[in-house]
A = this chain, B = another copy of it.
Amino acid sequence: MDNNFKISKKTKIVSLESAITDNIKPGNIVFLGGFGHAIPFYSSHEIIRQNIKDLTICRSGADILFDQMIASGIVSKVIFGYIGNPGVGLSHSFRKAVKDHKILLEEWTNYSLILRLHAGRMGLPFIPSKILQIGDMPDNIKYMKTIKCPYTDIDMSAIPALVPDVAVIHAQQADEFGNIQMWGVDGDTIEGALASNKIIVSVERIVDNSEIKKFPDRTVIPAHRVSAVVELPWGAYPSYVTDFYSRDDKHYIEYDKISRDPDLLNYYIDEWIRNIQSIEEYMKLIGKKNLKELQNGMCGLKSNDE
């Protein structure tokens, strides 16, 4: 084939505003990506700014992004394996919402939640597993059925598929057509994205398609599955992005204090989320010194150049 033949293809690049408006509706089940790494903070904040309500949010291990979503009053249900502030303590907004019966739970474990997404990704109504056969099971997941393995006769849990309406994830790079490249810790991010009907991706940088083709193994979601791509450098702050910036552990520690106090938390949500108009304002809030330190931090730009 003629090497120079150019096919003119559709771009998937849109503004963050329309990525969210066009793809997330009230009542949707939304998978939020990022397992410690590459958590889509900034794009999820846009859901809060647009005040899209009655959402069910899901993932295996969730951190303070879930706390912020819950605190903002747009979440009616969580489907999860863990919600906390890893290494710091509890998710206080989650704790309060549960205490005040303001939120519905569907409480799995990390592996069973991943298997739910795995079944969704594979187009299966369920997948068997050995877990969830002993121990206490919350009423909210007692709809799960048991099956007998037709070969070994052992009882197994029939983990039901989970097919989120939309996945929101953050990655290192994409081309304009929507080929997404991510490396470093993934956790259940790709599993959740591929399980979902729509996929919204924010990336640190848009690159040319020729860059994508240099490492096709790094492409984790193919263009035709992606609904929207938004370029959002620092979009995963205060989590981290391998080869871009490190994790702001201090932010997570401070958030523990802040989220214990409703007034402080309101102020935080206004300051860090509701009043923010652009990623540039977000970066300003992070602060130049901090941006530089995080770029120099472990797994940041500099750490990679060693």
Contacts and interface: CB of A to CB of B under 8 A. Distances in A.
Contacts of A156: 124
A127 B125 contact: no
Protomer copies: 2
Given A147-B147, A218-B217, A154 B183 contact: no
Contact of A124 (B128, B146, B160): B128
Contacts of A154: 125
A98 interface: no
Contact of A158 (B123, B125, B146, B151): B151
A140 B145 CA distance: 32
Interface residues of A, number: 23
Contacts of A145: 150-151
Nearest to A146: B150
A146 B147 CA distance: 13
B123 A184 contact: no
Interface string A138-153: 0000000111011110
Contacts of A125: 128, 149, 151-152, 154
A129 interface: yes
Sorted nearest first, the 6 A-B pairs with minimum C-beta distance are A145-B150, A183-B217, A125-B152, A125-B149, A150-B158, A125-B151
